[in-house]
Chain A
Amino acid sequence: MNAQAGDAVKVVNLVVRYDRTLALEGVTLDVHFGEAMGIVGPNGSGKSTLLKSIAGLLTPASGAITVLGAPPKKIPAGSLAYVPQIEAADWSFPATVWDVVAMGRFPRLHFWQHFGEQDRSAVEAALRAVNMYNLRARHIGELSGGQQQRVFVARAIAQRPQLLLLDEPTTGVDAETEEALRRVVRSLVDDGMPVLMTTHDLDRVDEWFDRLLVLDRRVLAIGKPDEVAESGAYASIREHTHTHGHARSA
């Protein structure tokens, strides 16, 4: 996987609108294989919108997105995994931890194919990676926020995607979960996985990411975390984020 040629994600001049509001204006970026890119920016800066556009969940007003060599909606099922913010899910749904992570396998299975040994071992490995295997039989409504987040990440890992998108997985989770997630993400990246992740937490960006993108509807800066820090591009963001606390963006 390490030696894959080309960029995993290529975004050129992306413009996204919600009705009359401009959410992204002219965003250009690329994500390489084997690299974790962090997206930071104030609330409403378009971080989630950018991820959703790359995931093929939104239709851009203009610009081009190439994911794994194709437009987002044309890539083969199972090749992209998207981890949304946990508030988006119905946690009263009748499902156990195992059931939810097993869904990660569904995009790869045709209806006539059984959920086989290979699928079960992928689910087990994903659950162990995030330290949730012991809680596999628990109903999802009985989990803490950190555990719910780990379940969502495990579902994405069980899918064995070629590109991983994470929307603020560290917001509102305990320190132990954050560290567990960081280790999982880093080990995936070391195996060649491209990762794109939004975050509010500016304190450990150098431990998480190879490159950082500072977004406020447009790209303010992009580069290695320390370079970006020196450029001063996110000093204003940091101030902004701190004044507004850690409230979640939509």
Chain B
Amino acid sequence: MNALLVPFEYAFMQRAFVAAIAVGLLCSVMGTYVVLRKLSFIGDGIAHASFAGIVIAYIRGLDYYVGAAIVAVLTALGIGFVHRRGNISLDTTIGVLFTGAFALGVFLMSRLKNYAVDLQSFLFGDILSVSSKDLLFIGILSLLIALTVVVLFRGLLYTTFDPVVAQASGLHVETIEYVLLVMLALTIIVALQSVGIILVAALLVTPAAAAYQLTKRFTPMMVLAVVLGIASTVGGLYLSYFLRSSSGATIVLLATMLFFSAIGVKHLKSFRSA
């Protein structure tokens, strides 16, 4: 009778739904900062660079996600450093470094005699393959990031809006920026398994960008981003079961549709008030 509830009967689907909620939540919270600080290119770059970590971890026989996490955090800190100290513009740095790191991953992989890494699942994600161990990893990281956001909430908000004045008034802007970049790197690693390297940036940017269209204060923007983000991940996963489609792609497409709906609603609102 309940064909609509079928997806929830499988253990692997249940795990996937829990992962989808966590990923939707994390990406939207971090995405709010990414959109307002205009860091979307960084998110994309970190995701690509982490591929080198995955391949190196494979060669060394380590856990893929540990390898990816180490490389992602290091590159995130690297960008922060170059951005602060260097004279090269940020987008140039990212354009050079991250495509380079991605190429290194492909290069190392192509030299392997017999590799068993499923490239496709890293590029496009495979949320259905989330194991109980993965869930534990996702849970711990989510808790850590959520806690950090709560503790640094005001500092993150002030430095996002006006870093110069925040610094003059005594906030530790540089430290906050580095912490944010590390959280961003870890969020990307958590999301990698669900939506993959290519699409993770969309999950960081799209729900927050949609929320930005419809709100005029920071906290409502973040809350709405989380609602739209979880709606996208959970809804996309659910739809992909019936459409027999790639879960990562379905999630991102749903988020994209929500984004355009948000623009539509915004125009409708301004049309009515005009």
- Chain A interface residues (CB < 8 Å from chain B): 55-57, 75-84, 88-90, 93-96, 99-100, 103-104, 106-107, 109, 111, 139, 155, 159, 161, 165
Interface residue? B136 (CB, 8 A) = no
Max chain A C-beta neighbours (<10 A), residue from B155, B162, B168, B220: B168
With a cutoff of 8 Å between Cβ atoms, the chain B residues found around residue A94 in the complex are 36, 212, 215-218, 220-221
State A89–B36 Cα separation when bound (angstroms): 12
The B interface is mostly helix, strand or loop, or mixed, namely helix
Chain B contact residues, CB within 8 Å of chain A = 36, 150-155, 157-158, 160-162, 164-171, 212, 215-218, 220-221
- Beta-carbon contact of A77 and B170 below 8 Å: yes
Top 5 A-B residue pairs of the complex, sorted by shortest distance between their CB atoms? A77-B170, A82-B168, A55-B168, A107-B169, A139-B216
The reply to whether A78 and B164 contact each other, CB–CB distance below 8 Å, is: no
Give which listed residue, B154, B158, B169, B216, contacts A82 with CB less than 8 A: B169
Q: Are A99 and B170 in contact (CB under 8 A)?
A: no
Contacts of A93 in B (CB 8 A): 36, 160-161, 218
Q: A96-B217, A103-B157 are in contact. Are A77 and B169 (CB under 8 A)?
A: yes
Question: Which residue of B164, B170, B215 is within 8 Å of A84 (Cβ)?
Answer: B164
Given contacts A57-B167, A77-B171, contact A103 B212 (CB under 8 A): no
Select one of A81, A103, A165 contacting B161, CB under 8 A: A103
Other-chain residue from A75, A76, A89, A103 in contact with B158 (beta carbon distance below 8 A): A103
Chain A residue, CB-CB nearest to B214: A94
A111-B169 in contact (CB<8A):
no
Report chain A residues within 8 Å CB of B217.
94-96, 99
Chain B residues with CB below 8 A from A103, complex form: 154, 157-158, 161-162, 166
| Residues of chain A lying within 8 A (CB to CB) of residue B36 | 90, 93-94
Contact B164 A107 (CB under 8 A): no
Cβ B164 vs Cβ A57 within 8 A: yes
The distance in angstroms between the C-alpha atoms of A27 and B155, with both chains bound, is: 33
Tell whether A106 pairs with B216 under 8 Å between CB atoms, given A94-B36, A95-B161, A100-B161.
no
Residues of chain B within 8 A (CB-CB) of A84 are: 162, 164-165
Which chain B residues border A88 with CB–CB below 8 Å?
162, 164
Chain B hits for A155, CB < 8 A: 165
Q: Max chain A CB contacts within 10 Å: which of B167, B171, B217, B220? A: B217
Rounded to whole angstroms, the CA-CA distance of A90 and B165 in the bound complex is: 13
Contact of B216 among A77, A78, A96, A107 (CB under 8 A): A96
List 10 interface pairs A-B (beta carbons < 8 Å), by A numbering.
Answer: A57-B168, A77-B171, A81-B169, A84-B164, A90-B161, A93-B161, A99-B218, A103-B157, A106-B169, A107-B166
Q: Give the complex CA separation of A107 and B159 in angstroms.
A: 11
Chain B residues within 8 Å of A100, by CB: 161
- B171, A56: Cβ atoms under 8 Å? no
> Could you tell me if B168 and A80 are in contact, using CB atoms closer than 8 angstroms?
yes
A82 CA to B166 CA in the complex, in Å?
A: 9
Name the residue of chain B whose CB is nearest to the CB of A138.
B216
**CB distance A111 to B154 under 8 Å?**
yes
Cα separation A165 to B165 with both chains bound (whole Å)? 11
A106-B171 contact, Cβ under 8 Å, with A94-B216, A95-B218, A99-B218: yes
